[in-house]
Chains A and B, each alone.
Chain A
Amino acid sequence: MVRLYPNRCQLVGSAFISGFLISLVRSFIIDYYLFCSFQIHFVILISRQGKVRLTKWYSPYQQKERSTVIRELSGLILTRGPKLCNFVEWKGFKVVYRRHDSIILVILNLYASLYFCICIDPDDNELEILEIIHHFVEILDRYFGSVCELDLIFNFHKAYYILDEILIAGELQESSKKTVARLIAAQVNVTERCVSLAF
């Protein structure tokens, strides 16, 4: 059999090898982003309409890649029903997301929810990351007094300061709400004193 198709075998063999090589190269590119074992790669906050409220990138992503990532994840996450898992698989990573509705706007029956999304490595503890998001939201609540989307829109730089106290270099830095609140308060006190002095 094989003798009748000498060229075909070569064809088949070379196609197989090239396919194998391509997948090897692809896996190297992915490995670059996974050089540490458990790490958060990025944090994204988007509104129900897909508008970006906050983004923090702990792994190298170019500006164009960032837009693509946000577009893809918005499409993936915003269409998921409420009862489904809070985790999605995406390009070999996992993305954990949580929807947050503020109390005030719920009372007024206004539909404005925020989606907090965190991208992690596939072997990480997904439920723990879900709780880290909750931890972040509780600290924001404490600081803004029941945080809603508007707070984050008009004070996004403050949200960045808070995020930097909780996560650093893609890892959980501080799990005590009290410590984070104390540190932020100390910084605000100093800046407000500076403001009054500046006048």
Chain B
Amino acid sequence: MEQLKTIGRELAMGSQGGGWTGQSKEFLDLVKSIGEARSKAEEDRIILREIESLRRRIAEPDVPRRRMKEYIIRLVYAEMLGHDASFGYIHAVKMTHDDSLSLKRTGYLAVTLFLSDDHDLIILIVNTIQKDLRSDNYLIVCAALTAACKLINEETIPAVLPQVVDLLAHPKEAVRKKAVMALHRFYQRSPASVSHLISNFRKRLCDNDPGVMGATLCPLFDLITADVNSYKDLVISFVSILKQVAERRLPKAYDYHQMAAPFIQIKLLKILALLGSGDKQASGHIYNVLGDIFRKCESSSNIGNAVLYECICCVSSIYPNAKLLDAAAESTSKFLKSESHNLKYLGIDALGRLIKINPDVAEEHQLAVIDCLEDPDDTLKRKTFELLYKMTKSTNVEVIVDRMIDYMISINDNHYKTEIASRCVELAEQFAPSNQWFIQFSVSNNFTFQTMNKVFEHAGDLVNVRVAHNLMRLIAEGFGEDDEGADSQLRSSAFNIELLFLHSELEFIYGNSTHIAAKILNNILCNKFLKMVLIFYSCMCLFS
């Protein structure tokens, strides 16, 4: 077995097309020993020893540059495994000043991995980036732009902004593409400093190179999200680009698994969904191309389904069109009926979007939805609960809330427990068929929440408090019922419930010892007057 392992390793190492370009034996030994370490503690020991030795060596004067490059790579490795190598940061910064592309690139890589944009050493790098952005070698410019995307923050944007804007017109498309992404990043960091340059994004949309055009869709998406109306004039351009892409007019290099530029198609669909939302005229332009894509999509590959799903999202956000909604419903059916869990997941999500427009769509898929609810896959279950949350009405609120509570008791994730608990309460408040039911629900589930208190106090407390608050409010304000008899009956049942509530509070405060006593008291007293005396007395005890 061991022999096979070593043979495997030799074979695998021999197959590397990338080559070794100058890794020393020491580095290989280091990586191998980490790989063979039996425990995290052993791995930590090896790395810490390595860091100590590097700390000594890196501080020596006159370290040859290529040796320094390797030390920096080893430090990147150490940091990746979770250890601190901050003594090496300054050396990485110095390496970015180097003239040779190989060393400069390593320096930039190390610096982008080590530092965040608010680190003190950034000041030393900004000058280098500025110089490199003006370099004749386009590869150096690319490296500088990649670093700028990570390291330039609000304060340093003005230092590099003019060059980046100039680079938008660079002859090399790789540079233009990265300049667009860098400008986008600057916009995200500080919209005010880039707002006057937004017209550049519109220009780059018409770039000859599809890669640059595709990259421009990212900033345009953010801009449109912020302010839809200024970009309505671009609807026609986007539709025509999408048409060209769908008709395979882009170079073959952008094909992926027999689909034409699917990632670009998805970005365009997201943008069109925003532009067409609530706007009949804009949506009118989009219907044709959307219909074409529905027809042409390959539903046999993952990426084809991803595009289909994005189409469904688009259809459900733009102005409704009957034919397209039918096509979307059909695709959703196919997703829900498929064997793959991923597609079922997308189907549930798509169904959630479609029922906002047409609530009846959910009826024919009830069985599929219930199957997903009972699936052992947690992710699918949670997604289905989100769907149920959207589907709740007065007629089905009890069933749905019961299911949600059952599920909540069974899971361990505290964060999610709180979420479900508050959702249950929201649904109960919003859709309760009657006040009686709501009180009954609150109290019976108060007990459920109480029993979980021992394992999980936080959510129990949060929900208890809300439920108690609402109960109080309801009882104080009365139910507004005209029928005196019904009103007094409700009040007496509320009385009973208050007593139970008090009992549960006592149990919580004093533990199990009061349980039996309170139960006996409760059973003995059917007399209203005695109950009042008891409550008054216990009240005095509690607050003394």
Let me know if A158 is at the binding interface, CB within 8 A: yes
Task: Decide: A154 and B342 in contact? CB cutoff 8 A.
Answer: no
A148 — which chain B residues lie within 8 A by C-beta? 12
Task: Decide: A19 and B475 in contact? CB cutoff 8 A.
Answer: no
Task: Decide: A190 and B139 in contact? CB cutoff 8 A.
Answer: yes
Task: Decide: B76 and A15 in contact? CB cutoff 8 A.
Answer: no
Listed residue (A19, A52, A156, A177) with the most chain B CB atoms within 10 angstroms of its CB: A19
* A-B interface pairs (CB < 8 A), number: 229
Task: Decide: B379 and A88 in contact? CB cutoff 8 A.
Answer: yes
Cα–Cα distance between A92 and B12 once the two chains are bound (Å)? 39
Task: Decide: B342 and A145 in contact? CB cutoff 8 A.
Answer: no
Our pick among A2, A56, A84, A135 for the contact of B472 (Cβ within 8 Å) is: A2
Q: Contacts A143-B18, A144-B18 hold; do A126 and B345 have CB atoms under 8 A apart?
A: yes
Let me know if B21 is at the binding interface, CB within 8 A: yes
Q: How many interface residues does A have (CB within 8 Å)?
A: 86
Which residues of B in the span 80-119 have a Cβ within 8 Å of any Cβ on A? 80-82, 84, 100-102, 105-106, 109, 113, 116
Cα–Cα distance between A9 and B539 once the two chains are bound (Å)? 13
Q: Contacts A84-B379, A125-B266, A183-B174 hold; do A169 and B109 have CB atoms under 8 A apart?
A: no
Cα–Cα distance between A12 and B256 once the two chains are bound (Å)? 59
B376 — which chain A residues lie within 8 A by C-beta? 84
Which residues of B in the span 130-154 have a Cβ within 8 Å of any Cβ on A? 139, 142, 146, 149-150
Q: Contacts A145-B17, A179-B174, A191-B101 hold; do A12 and B214 have CB atoms under 8 A apart?
A: no
Task: Decide: B177 and A191 in contact? CB cutoff 8 A.
Answer: no
Q: Contacts A143-B17, A153-B31, A190-B101 hold; do A110 and B5 have CB atoms under 8 A apart?
A: yes
Chain B's interface: helix, strand, loop or mixed, by majority? Answer: helix
Let me know if B318 is at the binding interface, CB within 8 A: no
Q: Contacts A128-B263, A173-B215 hold; do A195 and B12 have CB atoms under 8 A apart?
A: no
Q: Contacts A108-B8, A157-B73 hold; do A87 and B345 have CB atoms under 8 A apart?
A: yes
Task: Decide: B377 and A195 in contact? CB cutoff 8 A.
Answer: no
B261 — which chain A residues lie within 8 A by C-beta? 175
Our pick among A144, A145, A169, A191 for the contact of B149 (Cβ within 8 Å) is: A169
Q: Contacts A2-B476, A89-B382, A190-B139 hold; do A19 and B21 have CB atoms under 8 A apart?
A: no
Cα–Cα distance between A35 and B498 once the two chains are bound (Å)? 46
Let me know if A31 is at the binding interface, CB within 8 A: no
Q: Which residue on chain B has the smallest CB distance to residue A187?
A: B139
A1 — which chain B residues lie within 8 A by C-beta? 472, 475-476, 494, 498
Q: Which residue on chain A has the smallest CB distance to residue B138?
A: A186
B262 — which chain A residues lie within 8 A by C-beta? 131, 175
Task: Decide: B181 and A173 in contact? CB cutoff 8 A.
Answer: yes
Chain A's interface: helix, strand, loop or mixed, by majority? Answer: helix
Q: Which residue on chain A has the smallest CB distance to residue B103?
A: A194
Interface string of A98-133 (1 = CB under 8 A from B): 000010110010100000000000000111101110
Let me know if B469 is at the binding interface, CB within 8 A: yes
Q: Contacts A128-B263, A174-B211, A183-B174 hold; do A164 and B254 have CB atoms under 8 A apart?
A: no
Let me know if A78 is at the binding interface, CB within 8 A: no
Which residues of A are in contact with B by a Cβ distance under 8 Å?
1-2, 4-5, 7, 9, 12-13, 15-16, 19, 23, 35-38, 51-52, 54-56, 60, 63, 66-67, 70, 83-89, 91-92, 102, 104-105, 108, 110, 125-128, 130-132, 134-135, 143-146, 148, 150-151, 153-158, 160-161, 164, 168-169, 171-179, 183, 186-188, 190-192, 194-195, 198
Which residues of B are in contact with A by a Cβ distance under 8 Å?
4-5, 7-9, 11-13, 15-18, 21-23, 28, 31, 35, 66, 73, 76-77, 79-82, 84, 100-102, 105-106, 109, 113, 116, 139, 142, 146, 149-150, 174, 177-178, 181, 184-185, 188, 210-211, 214-215, 218, 221-222, 225, 251, 253-254, 256-257, 261-264, 266, 270, 302-303, 305-306, 309-310, 313, 341-342, 344-346, 376-380, 382, 415-416, 461-462, 465-466, 468-469, 472, 475-476, 494, 498, 535-536, 539, 543
A-B contact pairs, 22 of them (CB 8 A): A2-B476, A12-B469, A13-B469, A37-B222, A38-B221, A55-B80, A63-B84, A84-B377, A84-B380, A87-B342, A88-B378, A127-B342, A131-B257, A131-B262, A143-B18, A146-B15, A148-B12, A154-B16, A156-B76, A169-B149, A194-B102, A195-B21
**10 A-B pairs with least C-beta separation:** A191-B102, A127-B306, A178-B253, A2-B476, A145-B17, A175-B263, A176-B253, A85-B341, A84-B377, A128-B306
